[in-house]
Amino acid sequence: MKQLLLSLLLSSVVHYNFAMQAGGSAALHEVAHSLSPAEKALIDAAKNGNLELVRTQLASSANINAQDTNGTALMIAAYMGHNEVVEELLARGAEVNVQNSKCYTALIFAAYQGHADVVELLLTAGADVNAPNIYGRSEEHTS
C-alpha cells in the first residue's frame, strides 16, 4: 500500500496541481517576505542542503516554520531533495502539513520533483495526502 501511494504521488497526482496553476511555474523564485536574518539564512541553508548551517540557524532562534513566498525551509528542502536537511527539520519539529500561499505542502513539492526518499520521510512524519490544494481538491482525488 505504501509503495502504491508513493508511486501515485510520484506520477500524475501532483502534476495536476502545477499544471492547473494559471500561468505559473513550479520553479522556486528568489523572493523574500519580512523574515529575520536568521530565518532568511535558514531557508537559504535548506535550499542549498547545508545541514550544519540549518542547525546553526535553528540554534540562533530562527522560526523553523517561517515562510518566504515559496514556503518553509522544510518545503524548500523537500523540493530540492535534501534528505538530511528534511530529516533534521522534521526531528526539530517542523510542521509537515503547513501550506504555502498556493496551498502546496512539502509533500507536494517532493513528489513533483520525484524525490521518493523525501516523500517517504514526509509520509512517515504524517504528511497528509488529503490536504486540499488551492482548487479545493485533495491529492487523493486528483489522479
User: Are the beta carbons of 111 and 9 closer than 8 angstroms?
Assistant: yes
CA dist 22 and 8 (Å) reads 23
| pTM given for the model | 0.77
Cβ atoms 108, 85 nearer than 8 A: no
Please, is 63 exposed, middle or buried when counting C-beta atoms within 10 Å of its C-beta (0-12, 13-18, 19+)? middle
CB 124, CB 96: distance < 8 Å: no
* Lowest-pLDDT range of 56-65, 113-122, 126-135: 126-135
Model confidence pLDDT, tens digit, residues 40-71 = 999 999 999 999 999 999 999 899 999 998 99
Give the mean model confidence (pLDDT) for residues 3-12: 50
Q: How far is the C-alpha of 52 from the C-alpha of 56, rounded, in Å?
A: 6
- The three cell numbers of residue 45 are 541553508
Q: How many residues belong to the chain?
A: 143
pLDDT tens by residue, 71-108: 999 999 999 999 999 999 999 999 999 999 888 999 99
Encode pLDDT of 10-43 as tens digits: 543 444 344 334 344 444 444 445 899 999 999 9
